Amino acid sequence: MNFTLPGAEPFSPETQRRLAAALAGKGSGYRARTRHLRPDGGPRYANRLLFESSPYLLQHAHNPVNWFPWGDEAFAAAARENRPVLLSVGYSTCHWCHVMEEESFEDEEIAATINRNYVPIKVDREERPDVDAVYMQAVQQMTGQGGWPMTVWLTPDKRPFFGGTYFPPHDGDRGSAIGFATLLARLSETWREQPERIAGAATQIGAALRRELAGGAGGDTVDADALQNAFHYYAQRFDAAHGGLAGAPKFPSGLPVRPLLRQHRRTRDAAALQMAVRTLRAMADGGMYDQIGGGFHRYAVDDAWLVPHFEKMLYDNALLAVAYVEGWQASGEPRFAETARDILRYVQRDMTSPDGAFYAATDADSAGPDGRAEEGLFFTWAPAEIDAALGEPAAGLIKDYYGVTAGGNFEGRNVLHVVRPLAQAARDRGLTADAAAALLRDARARLAEVRRQRPAPLRDEKILAGWNGLMISAFARAALAFDDESLAAVASRAADFLDERLGRDGRLQRVWKDGQARLPGYLSDYAFVIAANLDLYEATGDPRRLQRAVALDDVLERGFWDAAGGGFFTTSDEHETLPARDKPFYDGAEPSGNGVAIMNLLRLHEFTSDDRYRRLAEESIRAFGDILARAPMAMSETLLALDFRRDKPREIVIVTPAGDGLGARPFLDALRPRFLPNRILVTANEAEIATGLARLVPLAEFKTARNGRTTAYVCRRGVCGAPTTDPREFAAQLQ
């Protein structure tokens, strides 16, 4: 079997043998993801990505491009052959990554140009956030914008000299003056004929890259100013009609709800709560929310949350579940609690592995009637499909409630979205409110069953430590707020998976796929998993979780801490050296690792009374002081930590005696619905405190269950109020 690629030298006999063996190992049912097939249905081409486990890299394993994975082999080949590197970064559920693959990387002529002139490298950004962060910053410097797919031209020593995002294949395509094929030819010519120009660009970009990724200058900042300035920014740009920030596209992270809820709690400014509530309602009503299956899509392409980009990401749903839990606590709206539960039901049903960990994402595209991928087909509806699935009166109610029309709102089909209150739709149909609610519930279940018969979008089944940490936090926080032990069990099972499968010599690995753990964990992995363990400790009282958080934070401090400037680097001392070492401070698609790490430090200080944690948090805040002063709205996760720091967090200890049937429940019931973000919670029995917990949590020392009854202690900075055995008095102390 010969897999020689257009424009490339033939593979060595050993590589050919390995490719054939890897292909045979896929089994007889394997269907190569390519349009280049032999008469027997097998793939005409294969490249080194066939040896990888990343779903994104495997999607490109049968392109005619001579792809390498990121690694020494590729850069050694570039140096040996004096060729530039063509770096392409994306992820498996990225719609425009699929478009660029189909248009350019599956094109044999473009592939031949790449293979003759470049050493092409594919990177899964979800597996290598360090590579993604460095070169995304370079692209943003060069073009003023970023995104995926990301396309960067590098020297053999990894320095970028040109880049962009999606490029259409040819001049004039999609309104572009210069297409990818032209760029490839011109940059190759410049490489050969004007090497000094390439070297100058690489030097200039590299210097700017190192300055930008260093995190800016440190400095003192007034917490209240940063918090207030961020609120003013959001207030000035708030979309009063649709929620979120004005304009399109609309990302849920564009208007961070959680800082707004804290602004309202801190200042009692009604506008902050109104902005948060309006946004939570609009997102849950919109097409960005999967009205049938639960869970949120990536973002909306319009300003009304109507038409989504249909991929679903684990981290988005984790962050939104927490936002809806807090929104329920702050506003009391029952729908917010139900939305949070709906997200978690979706994750349990569709995104949980047999071993209890959480998968990464699902695609925007699914197969249409002709077998070709179509965006959103799985999620959208024609009126006739609803009529056939439901019949009357349910079909009429659903179409009225979700705005279904003959013309549709997305390529002739309908993205379901709430267009009127259910009570109004019920009145228009002559139904009672209860009857309409029952019809809606049953219709959603039936439509979900019909939808399950459609070809489903691709699911990226790699397991990422950090993203799992975010979802563990979501389940743990919801478990505590909703008094749901089943949610806590889901979180505990996933946390055990991370300990057992992604723990190695006390450290974290980032990726689990095909039965193997790979790649040392990054800052975000440690920060998110530490936070998950703290949240799970509060939800379950299991001291192993607090011990794990302490141990992982110790690894983070030793390997990632910037002793010279404060804050944490993305990479540790054991990671690969890149042209710059990123120290992330802005929130992006995911929260800033530094923002979460600072909050972890503040919480650990409250739990353990170890002042080292407080000092590290203060140094980190100072490291980003000038950015907080200039652009606090870009650091919403850090704003949560600032709010915690300037408050006097409540230190709540609930001590139960042996044999108390109700235990801590009456006290926890007083806590659950309260929006009290700046607190720690310790729930333990007297025996646990006496046999070791007090060493881990000194605050618990000498605290007892008085007169054999569960006793609550509410403290601030180590100063406690009167212990109480009365849940009503406990509630008053929380007020």
Place of tokens 């998110």: 528
**684 has pLDDT over 80:** yes
pLDDT in tens, 317-372: 999 999 999 999 999 999 999 999 999 999 999 999 999 999 999 998 888 887 78
CA distance 415 to 404: 8
Give the pairing type, strands 312-313 and 373-375.
unpaired
pLDDT-derived band at 28 (thresholds 50, 70, 90) equals confident
CA distances for 304 relative to 252, 253, 570, 655, angstroms: 12, 15, 35, 48
Per the prediction, the chain carries an average pLDDT of 94
Instruction: Specify which residues 123 forms β-bridges with.
Output: 89
The answer to whether residue 363 sits within a structural domain is: no
**222 has pLDDT over 60:** no
Helix (H, G, I), strand (E, B) or coil at 572: coil
Which range among 155-164, 397-406, 713-722 shows the weakest confidence by mean pLDDT? Answer: 713-722
The answer to whether residue 169 sits within a structural domain is: yes
pLDDT-derived band at 654 (thresholds 50, 70, 90) equals very high
For position 171, which CATH number holds? 3.40.30.10
Q: What is the pLDDT of residue 735?
A: 84
The answer to whether residue 614 sits within a structural domain is: no
Q: Any idea what DSSP says for residue 455?
A: P
pLDDT-derived band at 253 (thresholds 50, 70, 90) equals confident
CA distances for 523 relative to 507, 526, 583, angstroms: 12, 5, 9
pLDDT in tens, 161-218: 999 999 999 999 988 889 999 999 999 999 999 999 999 999 999 988 888 777 655 5
Q: What is the pLDDT of residue 574?
A: 85
CA distance 64 to 359: 29
Identity of the amino acid at 142? M
The better pLDDT of the pair 696, 373 is held by: 696
Average pLDDT of the segment spanning 139-148: 92
pLDDT in tens, 99-131: 999 999 999 999 999 999 999 999 999 999 999
Note every long-range contact of 254-257, with CB atoms under 8 Å and residues 24 or more positions apart, other chains counting.
255/279, 256/587, 256/636, 256/639, 257/323, 257/326, 257/327
DSSP 15-51: HHHHHHHHHHTT-TT---SSS-B-TTSSBS---GGGG
CA distance 123 to 142: 20
Q: What is the pLDDT of residue 349?
A: 97
Helix (H, G, I), strand (E, B) or coil at 413: strand
- 699 and 715 in contact (C-beta within 8 Å)? yes
CA distance 697 to 546: 9
* Longest CA–CA separation in the chain, Å: 88
Average pLDDT of the segment spanning 633-650: 94
Average pLDDT of the segment spanning 539-554: 97
Instruction: Specify which residues 421 forms β-bridges with.
Output: none
Give the pairing type, strands 650-656 and 679-685.
parallel
For position 661, which CATH number holds? 3.40.30
**611 has pLDDT over 90:** yes
CA distance 380 to 405: 12
| Tokens coding 372 | 């070709």
Q: What is the pLDDT of residue 294?
A: 96
Q: What is the pLDDT of residue 234?
A: 95
CA distance 126 to 588: 13
| Tokens coding 457 | 């979008």
In the chain, % of residues over pLDDT 70: 98
CB burial of residue 563 (10 Å; 0-12, 13-18, 19+): exposed
The better pLDDT of the pair 627, 62 is held by: 62
Average pLDDT of the segment spanning 464-488: 98
Instruction: Specify which residues 366 forms β-bridges with.
Output: 374
Give the pairing type, strands 119-124 and 160-164.
unpaired
The answer to whether residue 185 sits within a structural domain is: yes
Average pLDDT of the segment spanning 261-276: 96
The answer to whether residue 686 sits within a structural domain is: yes
CA distance 655 to 282: 42
| Tokens coding 57 | 């890299």
Q: What is the pLDDT of residue 223?
A: 64
- 621 and 640 in contact (C-beta within 8 Å)? no
Nearest to 284 by CA among 273, 271, 294: 294
The answer to whether residue 538 sits within a structural domain is: no
Q: What is the pLDDT of residue 219?
A: 59
| Tokens coding 82 | 């004096």
Tell which of 166, 194, 213 closes a domain: 213
Q: What is the pLDDT of residue 216?
A: 55
Q: What is the pLDDT of residue 444?
A: 96
Q: Cβ contacts of residue 728 below 8 Å, gap of 6+? A: 670
The better pLDDT of the pair 484, 365 is held by: 484
The answer to whether residue 232 sits within a structural domain is: no
pLDDT-derived band at 659 (thresholds 50, 70, 90) equals low
Q: What is the pLDDT of residue 368?
A: 81
- 570 and 625 in contact (C-beta within 8 Å)? no
pLDDT in tens, 235-246: 999 999 999 999
Identity of the amino acid at 341? R
pLDDT in tens, 286-320: 999 999 999 999 999 999 999 999 999 999 999 99
DSSP 292-313: TT-SB-SEESSSSS-SEE--EE
The answer to whether residue 3 sits within a structural domain is: no
- 675 and 643 in contact (C-beta within 8 Å)? no
- 86 and 106 in contact (C-beta within 8 Å)? no
Domain housing 186: 13-213
CA distance 33 to 400: 40
Tell which of 424, 453, 482 closes a domain: 453
**481 has pLDDT over 60:** yes
Identity of the amino acid at 185? A
- 420 and 400 in contact (C-beta within 8 Å)? yes
Tell which of 213, 246, 262 closes a domain: 213
**447 has pLDDT over 80:** yes
Q: What is the pLDDT of residue 589?
A: 85
pTM, two decimals, is 0.93
CB burial of residue 683 (10 Å; 0-12, 13-18, 19+): buried
| Tokens coding 120 | 């092409």
Looking at the 3D structure of the chain, how many domains does it have? 3
pLDDT-derived band at 663 (thresholds 50, 70, 90) equals confident
